[in-house]
Amino acid sequence: MSGRGYSSIPFADVRITSPFWRERLDVVLERTIPSQHAKLEAVGILDSLKLPKPVPPLTIPRNSHGFTMQVFWDSDVGKWIEAASYALAHRRDPGIEAKIDAIVEDLERAQSPDGYLNCWYNGREPEKRWTNLRDNHELYNAGHLLEGAIAYYRATGRRKMLDIMEGYVNHIASVFGRGPGQKRGYPGHQEIELALIKLYRLTGDRRRLELARYFIDERGAQPHYFNEEALGRGEDPASYWAGTYEYNQSHIPVREQTRMVGHAVRAMYMASAMADLALELGDEGLRLACEALWRDVTLAQMYVTGGLGPKETNEGFTEPYDLPNETAYAETCASVALVFWAHRMLHLDLDGAYADVMELALFNGALTGLARDGTHYFYSNPLESRGQHRRWDWHVCPCCTMNVSRLVASVAGYAVSAREDGVAFHLYGGFETAVVLAGVKVALSEKSAYPWSGEVRIRIDPEAPATFDFALRIPGWAKGATAAVNGERVALAPANGYATIRRTWRKGDVVTLDLEMPAERLYAHPNVRMDVGRAALRRGPLIYCVEEADNPGAPVQTLALPRAARLEAEWKADLFGGAMTLKAPAKRLVPGKGGGALYSTEPPAARDTALVALPYHLWANRMPGSMQVWVAELDN
Amino acid sequence: MSGRGYSSIPFADVRITSPFWRERLDVVLERTIPSQHAKLEAVGILDSLKLPKPVPPLTIPRNSHGFTMQVFWDSDVGKWIEAASYALAHRRDPGIEAKIDAIVEDLERAQSPDGYLNCWYNGREPEKRWTNLRDNHELYNAGHLLEGAIAYYRATGRRKMLDIMEGYVNHIASVFGRGPGQKRGYPGHQEIELALIKLYRLTGDRRRLELARYFIDERGAQPHYFNEEALGRGEDPASYWAGTYEYNQSHIPVREQTRMVGHAVRAMYMASAMADLALELGDEGLRLACEALWRDVTLAQMYVTGGLGPKETNEGFTEPYDLPNETAYAETCASVALVFWAHRMLHLDLDGAYADVMELALFNGALTGLARDGTHYFYSNPLESRGQHRRWDWHVCPCCTMNVSRLVASVAGYAVSAREDGVAFHLYGGFETAVVLAGVKVALSEKSAYPWSGEVRIRIDPEAPATFDFALRIPGWAKGATAAVNGERVALAPANGYATIRRTWRKGDVVTLDLEMPAERLYAHPNVRMDVGRAALRRGPLIYCVEEADNPGAPVQTLALPRAARLEAEWKADLFGGAMTLKAPAKRLVPGKGGGALYSTEPPAARDTALVALPYHLWANRMPGSMQVWVAELDN
């Protein structure tokens, strides 16, 4: 069996029935999407779309580089429409649709006759359009508006926004390229590439794919476009505030890149587009580059939560094994985008290694970005806190808010893929869909209490008997897996993380899968200097943390877990509507014979205690307090 | 015996004979002082003294708060003169003296007829003098120039600079105070207080002491002077860039301060002045405030190296037990100033706890700021490095360069104190002096290989038999101490860290002291979350580190030290002219069964190796590489 040829099933064609994701989805539908609209209104972002009008003073002052984050307000609008549209696919909502339609009216009025559409430039400095791709996010904005338009069209069938955006894309295609008189530019912040590929997949218009390919292939070419552009603005390219084009991954052509560098979200969007193009174009060079970058990230630059980018100043990568916990930047957007990339790699190759990382980033690094109440967020996601971290209800750069809501609202799209004679389950957790397999329409209904339990039951209802591959992901964390068809045990021979059952399936067939999901310790490579002598706790796809709310009395950093201590899973029905915690006998370090001295020749004493760990994505939803993912370990 | 009443012996009256300090002193004399003068010249600091002249463009651009570090160039000149003068006390040097005299000529020309002397304001914006004490360091500059003048006078007897500065002090005293028409100001950066007290001690002019008392007592009074001053400049006091007056310790009156906050060097200079004033004025309120602040610093805010101030943004303190290692700011100046403060506390109370911290900061946090070659420096002093830290040959803010050179050149002044009928040795390491005790002149000659060895021999030569207390510091680190007088064992009954032998001393008497100095492990209070599961190594007054140069092959962060492993001291004659290293059987952590995976359920494997540790003050003098003070510990 080749693992190739799978495509994802569109999010709108998958229903969610599990309590875990249903609860998150309901919160996003009922609280997040409306509150985000209110915020977009309150901070002036929606108003900025209403052109022409007198130019108001800046809400966000320019920084010392002359940059204001208002230049990418359009993207927030696009992402909100996208998130809302995914939610609408689950439950139509005339109120939300009216709000989107009003925005679309504004966009229509703001669009230039030649198709150009950027509310910052059209409103404030129309003569400067396309003069600073490096910093000013024009193509990034276009990408997000286009993704919003596509999602809204898919969810509702309304195509006005899509038409507007196709007009804009036509304009962009006329401006950029290798033809005479065209600019050899590409985005400073990658994103439009992903949107163009989605547009191609929606419309079949190959020009969109070609434009995406152009942007990816032109990136990092010499003479360097951002140098030329800076000279055109009368600036010295050497005075670039970021110091290096590694910041936006244009330091060398993308095919030559083997180390993931710079701004993590840009890097992930780029890699996602590269994977998409590798698939659509059968481009082995791009595939190899993706694979090299994947190895670099997952072998040396990824937090155990699926967080990416340790450093605040570049919002991105530093060097191998540099993964500080308390100061981790690990932007929510970067984990969201890692889900995007892993999902695309999975369609290049049905390899569980990709699915494992997709799941890790989804359930941990990304999901933690959205508070239980659906209206508070984390932008950066440290793996340790002394209690100074608080979720915020908005951010001067609100990118993460809509990134996490669009991910949660579209999570159904990550669960299942299909090809002509096969279906593959990547995620479990209550997903229902129907696909055509071997020419037969097949209803699939998966039920489980995943991620809390590894017991999965999938009912397969072909309209007529049909022979196809039924591929079940056996997660890397599973300590064992058994399966049965209609109650009869089947031998599993997982290859690359998927166990495939090929047979003639009939209506009412039931596959059960039991994934062993013990609580366990994870250790970092010893080169991760911050985690030496420490263990992280995992159960199934969930990374755990110790939080002061469950371990009161002292900072959780004084907890130590003996290596031999048994970890037990304990269901707490009253915790966030039900959550599996982990419990272990542990030690609380207290001053030893040295008393309260800051330094002493006497080691701390260790008092017996119990440690309670909580899924990382649930932290910081109660009282503020200390938190730690990597717990100190005692050898005995 | 009361521990009170001791005064230090002036640096110029103590000679250094030990190889350890003699080597450092020679380097400062021969390399540091001349190279610092050359730097002051090269970067334009000396030129900035030559007034009047056309105002040249700024060398250091103003930052976003409108601030340029050029405003405190005068202080660098003052500190260089001070450092050079301490060196001159050991060996006169007509070349250096001519350079100082040339600077004094410039200062004389730059001084205003009313005594005001600030080359920045007189050269660039004379109308703005005394309008921004909060930020612009006028009184700080005055203090350093005054300290330089006093040191130069003490070293050479030349009083021209002292006269200039006394004129300036008279002007300052006329401008600031509680009298009619006076400004109720005080320095944004404490320093002048220390200089005024030195001036009082030199001249006996009590007005200097009163002015220092005024500056300390006025600090933090309401209405807040920096608010009034900001309003006077037409600024909103709430827009203060540092956000809080904790930054410069003026948030509340100094006597009410119990937590050390803000900029560490300012805090230490303030505390030093408070201790001096407490002594000179018998001010119990200031003494109690000093003691409270001392407890706060030493119980919760001090690195094991005597470094202070973990954070870069405020160059200062954060909160109890917040002592990150790799990102430690721990400015050299702050450890130098901790030596100042501890030395002054010691004269409030002859308590070995103060001497222990003085010694710790001197031999570790401060001394590491000066490279072996005498021409490279550290500004911040991390306790861990992955190899990214390099010594620099100058700094845009060169405060630390002259702070460490003035400390090394004056180290003799910290060794011995005397009172009418007693002498106290705080430091050992080859110090010779003569003091009058019980009315008799007594020559004292201490010989030792300290800090490498705890065997100390002190010869006592009174001109006539004399009865006095002979107080020997028994360091807190000493695991045992034995002493003999003329070869005959004496019982030691140390009180507060000092063992006092009172007898009638005769010419040729010899006291020998043997301090047990085993290599040992130190543990941090378990609330220091960064150091949980780790040990630091110490031998005598020296804190050790593991550096990649001695432990090649992998980052030193992969070393782990079994708790039971025996530490052995090993003399390396060819290392930096001779240094005691520590050696222990240890483990090198390597990937376990998980292979090279970033995360694995398999713990790392531990391979046998030997660990070699180096005194912390010697690190980063060879090839760049990783370094760590807090080594991971294995329980077995």
3-state SS assignment for residue B68: coil
Contact B634 A635 (CB under 8 A): yes
Q: Which positions in chain A touch B632 (Cβ < 8 Å)?
A: 532-533
CA–CA distance, A395 with A620 (Å, rounded to integer): 17
| DSSP, residue by residue, B117-178 | --HHHHHH-GGGTTS-HHHH-HHHHHHHHHHHHHHHHHHH---HHHHHHHHHHHHHHHHBSS
* Model confidence pLDDT, tens digit, residues A570-614: 999 999 999 999 999 999 999 998 789 999 999 999 999 999 999
Question: Which is catalytic among the residues A399, A545, A547, A548?
Answer: A399
Q: Region A225-251: what's the mean pLDDT?
A: 96
Q: Which positions in chain A touch B524 (Cβ < 8 Å)?
A: 598-599
With beta carbons less than 8 A apart as the criterion, state whether B168 and B204 touch. Answer: no
A462/B65: higher pLDDT = A462
Best mutation site among A313, A517, A530, A598 for testing chain B: the one with the most B CBs within 10 Å? A598
Q: What is the separation, in whole angstroms, between the first and last Cα of chain B?
A: 47
Residue B139 predicted with pLDDT over 60 = yes
Contact B526 A596 (CB under 8 A): no
Alpha carbon of residue B116 to chain centroid: 29
Please tell me the predicted confidence (pLDDT) of residue B3: 53
With beta carbons less than 8 A apart as the criterion, state whether B15 and B431 touch. Answer: yes
CA–CA distance, A191 with A215 (Å, rounded to integer): 10
Work out the minimum CA distance from B318 to partner chain A, whole angstroms: 12
Contact B558 A64 (CB under 8 A): no
Given B300, B326, B521, which is nearest A598 (Cβ)?
Answer: B300
3-state SS assignment for residue A255: helix
Polymer length of chain A = 636
Contact A528 B300 (CB under 8 A): no
Angle between helices B73-90 and B33-42 (to 10 degrees): 160
With beta carbons less than 8 A apart as the criterion, state whether B363 and B451 touch. Answer: yes
Helix, strand, coil percent content, chain B, rounded in steps of 5: 40, 20, 40
- Backbone Cα Rg of chain B: 25
Residue A62 predicted with pLDDT over 80 = yes
Q: Name the band, by pLDDT with cuts 50, 70 and 90, for residue B1.
A: very low
Please tell me the predicted confidence (pLDDT) of residue A636: 66
Which helix (H) or strand (E) element contains residue B215?
A: helix B206-218
Work out the minimum CA distance from A592 to partner chain B, whole angstroms: 9
Which helix (H) or strand (E) element contains residue A571?
A: strand A568-572
- Number of inter-chain CB pairs under 8 A, A vs B: 137
A91: its two tokens: 């439950």
Q: Region A28-32: what's the mean pLDDT?
A: 95
Contact B327 A322 (CB under 8 A): no
Catalytic site positions of B: 315, 399
Q: Which positions in chain A touch B564 (Cβ < 8 Å)?
A: none
Q: Which positions in chain A touch B529 (Cβ < 8 Å)?
A: 384, 386, 555, 557-558, 628
Tell me the sheet residues that pair with A432: A15, A445
Given B534, B535, B591, which is nearest A526 (Cβ)?
Answer: B591
Polymer length of chain B = 636
Q: Name the band, by pLDDT with cuts 50, 70 and 90, for residue B4.
A: low
Work out the minimum CA distance from A468 to partner chain B, whole angstroms: 35
Locate the chain A residue with the closest alpha carbon to B323: A598
Burial of B494 (0-12, 13-18, 19+ CB in 10 A): middle
Locate the chain A residue with the closest alpha carbon to B557: A529
B97: its two tokens: 């003296």
Helix, strand, coil percent content, chain A, rounded in steps of 5: 40, 20, 40
pTM value? 0.93
Given A523, A560, A600, which is nearest B604 (Cβ)?
Answer: A523
Provide the 8-state DSSP code for B274. Answer: H
Best mutation site among A319, A635, A636 for testing chain B: the one with the most B CBs within 10 Å? A635
Q: Which positions in chain A touch B62 (Cβ < 8 Å)?
A: none
Locate the chain B residue with the closest alpha carbon to A305: B599
Locate the chain B residue with the closest alpha carbon to A596: B525
Work out the minimum CA distance from B627 to partner chain A, whole angstroms: 11
* Model confidence pLDDT, tens digit, residues B123-136: 999 999 999 999 99
Residue A318 predicted with pLDDT over 60 = yes
Work out the minimum CA distance from A160 to partner chain B, whole angstroms: 46
Contact B558 A597 (CB under 8 A): no
Give the Å distances, CA to CA, from A284 to A3, A192, A280, A281, A299: 16, 22, 11, 9, 22
CA–CA distance, B267 with B318 (Å, rounded to integer): 13
Q: Region B514-528: what's the mean pLDDT?
A: 97
* Model confidence pLDDT, tens digit, residues A380-437: 999 999 999 999 988 888 889 999 999 999 999 999 999 999 999 999 999 999 999 9
Please tell me the predicted confidence (pLDDT) of residue A184: 98
Question: Which is catalytic among the residues A166, A218, A315, A359?
Answer: A315
Given A384, A598, A628, which is nearest B525 (Cβ)?
Answer: A598
Best mutation site among B295, B301, B385, B527 for testing chain A: the one with the most A CBs within 10 Å? B527
Q: Region B223-235: what's the mean pLDDT?
A: 97
Given A300, A524, A599, which is nearest B522 (Cβ)?
Answer: A599
Q: Which one-letter amino acid corresponds to residue B574?
A: D
* Model confidence pLDDT, tens digit, residues B349-361: 999 999 999 999 9
Burial of B117 (0-12, 13-18, 19+ CB in 10 A): buried
Q: Name the band, by pLDDT with cuts 50, 70 and 90, for residue A2.
A: very low
Residue A55 predicted with pLDDT over 90 = no
Locate the chain A residue with the closest alpha carbon to B595: A525
Q: Which positions in chain A touch B597 (Cβ < 8 Å)?
A: 299, 525
Please tell me the predicted confidence (pLDDT) of residue B11: 82
Please give the mean pLDDT across all residues of chain B: 96
Given A597, A628, A635, which is nearest B636 (Cβ)?
Answer: A635
Contact A596 B525 (CB under 8 A): yes
Please tell me the predicted confidence (pLDDT) of residue A595: 87
Given A64, A304, A560, which is nearest B599 (Cβ)?
Answer: A304
Say what percent of chain A tops pLDDT 70: 99
Locate the chain A residue with the closest alpha carbon to B634: A635
Locate the chain A residue with the closest alpha carbon to B562: A635
Please give the mean pLDDT across all residues of chain A: 96
Q: Region A490-515: what's the mean pLDDT?
A: 96
* Model confidence pLDDT, tens digit, residues A164-202: 999 999 999 999 999 999 999 999 999 999 999 999 999
Contact A599 B563 (CB under 8 A): no
Contact A558 B529 (CB under 8 A): yes
Cα torsion B54, B58, B64, B67: sign: negative
Please tell me the predicted confidence (pLDDT) of residue B635: 82
A399 labelled catalytic: yes
Q: Name the band, by pLDDT with cuts 50, 70 and 90, for residue B636.
A: low
Nearest to A523 by CA among B607, B533, B601: B601
Work out the minimum CA distance from B28 to partner chain A, whole angstroms: 32
With beta carbons less than 8 A apart as the criterion, state whether A632 and A561 touch. Answer: yes
Q: Name the band, by pLDDT with cuts 50, 70 and 90, for residue A24.
A: very high
Whether the link from the prior residue into B52 is cis, omega within 30° of 0, is yes
Tell me the sheet residues that pair with B582: B569, B613
A521: its two tokens: 């310790």
Say what percent of chain B tops pLDDT 90: 93
Given B522, B596, B597, which is nearest A600 (Cβ)?
Answer: B522
Q: Which one-letter amino acid corresponds to residue A182?
A: Q
3-state SS assignment for residue B490: strand
CA–CA distance, A293 with A269 (Å, rounded to integer): 13
Contact A523 B327 (CB under 8 A): no
Q: Which positions in chain A touch B525 (Cβ < 8 Å)?
A: 591, 594, 596-600, 604
Work out the minimum CA distance from A439 to partner chain B, whole angstroms: 42
Please tell me the predicted confidence (pLDDT) of residue A3: 53
Q: How many other CB atoms are found less than 10 A from the CB of residue B573? A: 7
Nearest to A91 by CA among A163, A158, A135, A25: A25
Which helix (H) or strand (E) element contains residue B521?
A: strand B519-524
Work out the minimum CA distance from B188 to partner chain A, whole angstroms: 26
* Model confidence pLDDT, tens digit, residues A104-142: 999 999 999 999 999 999 999 999 999 999 999 999 999
Nearest to A318 by CA among A333, A340, A303: A303
Work out the minimum CA distance from A88 to partner chain B, whole angstroms: 38
Q: Which positions in chain B touch A533 (Cβ < 8 Å)?
A: 533-534, 560, 632-633
Instruction: List the alpha helices (DSSP H) in A91-205.
Output: 94-110, 119-124, 133-136, 138-156, 160-175, 192-203
Q: Which positions in chain B touch A64 (Cβ < 8 Å)?
A: 64
Please tell me the predicted confidence (pLDDT) of residue A544: 98
Q: Which positions in chain B touch A524 (Cβ < 8 Å)?
A: 598-599
Q: Region B175-192: what's the mean pLDDT?
A: 98
Given A591, A633, A636, which is nearest B526 (Cβ)?
Answer: A591
Locate the chain B residue with the closest alpha carbon to A296: B598
